[in-house]
Amino acid sequence: MRALYAEALAVPEVVGLTIGTRPDCAPDEVLDYLAELAADHLIWLEYGLQSAHDATLARINRGHDVAAFEDAVRRNPPARPPHLRPRDPRLPGESRADMLATARFLASLDIQAVKFTCSTSSRRRRWRSGTGKAITSA
């Protein structure tokens, strides 16, 4: 990892890195290394959280629970890089109330940005077939 990041950051046109990882795959020694890089480069650490509901995470086979996400965020003190969270706002089986509860959960944490995505094939199929719904307001 160190060699790859050093190689990428040695390119003059590269100002930083966005590093995506699972929240249960971010040990303190890695976070400390990324904090070192952040002293001289823009570093975004992106943990995946699709829902604040363990039942949904199990249903979509995320392989981690909400507690792992919260632990990773809490171990990211201000001296470490900022973090970005991908989020598909409407997962299959989740209600509007579930979606809003996830938004409130994210708002309760020290998170600098949230990235909304719609990347699953099932969502694309639902959207194209006319059965998917766009979110127009909170």
Query: Concatenated DSSP letters for 35-66?
Result: HHHHTTSEEEEEE--S-S-HHHHHHTT-SS-H
> In this model, does residue 85 exceed pLDDT 70?
no
Q: Has residue 137 been placed in a domain?
A: no
Please state the pTM of the whole predicted model. Answer: 0.74
Share above pLDDT 90 across residues of the chain, in percent, rounded to a whole number: 23
Q: Has residue 17 been placed in a domain?
A: yes
Q: Has residue 136 been placed in a domain?
A: no
Q: Has residue 51 been placed in a domain?
A: yes
> CA 95, 99, 104 angle in degrees (round to 5)?
140
In the sheet that 16-21 helps form, which strands lie side by side, from edge to edge?
A: 16-21, 42-47, 83-87, 113-116
Q: Has residue 44 been placed in a domain?
A: yes
Q: Has residue 138 been placed in a domain?
A: no
Across the chain, what does the average pLDDT equal? 82
According to the model, what pLDDT value does residue 138 have?
47
Q: Has residue 135 been placed in a domain?
A: no
Q: Which residues pair with 109 in a beta bridge?
A: none
> In this model, does residue 33 exceed pLDDT 80?
yes
Residue 25 tokens, joined: 């795959």
> In this model, does residue 90 exceed pLDDT 80?
no
> In this model, does residue 31 exceed pLDDT 50?
yes
> Band of the pLDDT at 17, cuts 50, 70, 90?
very high
Quote the number of domains for the chain: 1
According to the model, what pLDDT value does residue 128 have?
78
| Structural domain for 115, as ranges | 2-129
Q: Has residue 134 been placed in a domain?
A: no
Q: Are 117 and 86 in contact (CB under 8 A)?
A: yes
Mean pLDDT value of segment 12-19: 92
> Band of the pLDDT at 106, cuts 50, 70, 90?
confident
